[in-house]
Structure 1
């Protein structure tokens, strides 16, 4: 897969803006009690899904920001994903038949009693991500590498990291929608 770098960034911005719109128009207007309800004892509530994304943002937003600001590269017209990065990114996209994944304990907010500040924090993170996507237009999405949350030894192309982070958000926003339909 080879894609125009500007098209990739545009698609990722569009997804992020769509996530913000959903959160602002639906979640902010939903009762906090409902947002804390689970469909089962071991499933996440809507707010726990969003808090999970906030926990990942705590790692990825500073990491992406640091790598963008340190990059001395020039933008490249096209982006080709790496094998590992492409695998990680694609594995995050929601599938028709749910593909449950085990999360790391540090990123698992299960049985947390959360309030709507989780939503505010998520929107702030999304705004930062939009800002970083704008800055990413000015560098090479392949040569600029980022660490990943599970190992500082593994580096992914910035374009793959951005895809992974945003596709991960899509996955859990879909989970939020499913939870709210079923509580």
Structure 2
């Protein structure tokens, strides 16, 4: 696939996530943001905190990988086998529940609206990283997988994984938002 088109599409998807969270979740008070449809379900803030925990790791890893100079970035990008498998597990269309690592599971955390502000800040940072990625070799394996650091994903695989994972959990938060009683939302 064309690398420029890939980055442009990711940029648009991240802008959409930022706009969705700003429009749909930012106006809600802390009680609504912490509403849980069930004891094992996540609230809107828990969904965002889960993403924040991943962003703290992957944004830093991507910044480090993108800081490496590239003479001439390839015009084409192709997902690796590991990248495709990783991305498939987090795509929003994949309705199979995934087991979350304990350190990444925010269930029963005490959260406030600072989580929302942090999420939006991470999105702004990711947009800047995507701008840097326009000049990168997206196929270079440079980002260690969070839960097994010996494995490395390419920069492009990682960017797609991060955005797809965010879309998955923003959709989850949207489903929680839909379950708020109309008189509360």
TM surpasses 0.5: yes
Whether 1:124 and 2:121 are equivalent positions in the alignment is yes
Whether 1:161 and 2:136 are equivalent positions in the alignment is no
The answer for unaligned runs of 5 or more in structure 2 is 181-185
Count of residue correspondences = 180
In the aligned structure 1, how far is the partner of 2:167 from the partner of 2:39? Answer: 23
In the aligned structure 1, how far is the partner of 2:69 from the partner of 2:44? Answer: 36
User: Which segment is superposed worse, 84-93 or 4-13?
Assistant: 84-93
Whether 1:30 and 2:45 are equivalent positions in the alignment is no
Question: How much does 1:95 deviate?
Answer: 2.1
* CA deviations over 1:126-158 (Å, ceiling 9, x no partner): 000000000011011002521110111001111
Runs of 4+ in 1 over 2 A off after TM superposition: 70-74
TM-score by length of structure 2 reads 0.94
In the aligned structure 2, how far is the partner of 1:89 from the partner of 1:73? Answer: 28
In the aligned structure 2, how far is the partner of 1:4 from the partner of 1:91? Answer: 24
In the aligned structure 1, how far is the partner of 2:71 from the partner of 2:40? Answer: 45
- Root-mean-square deviation (CA, aligned residues, Å) is 1.2
In the aligned structure 2, how far is the partner of 1:115 from the partner of 1:52? Answer: 14
In the aligned structure 1, how far is the partner of 2:68 from the partner of 2:107? Answer: 36
Q: Is the 8 A contact 2:50 2:105 kept in 1?
A: yes
TM-score by length of structure 1 reads 0.95
In the aligned structure 1, how far is the partner of 2:34 from the partner of 2:123? Answer: 22
Q: Which residue of 2 aligns with 1:19?
A: 17
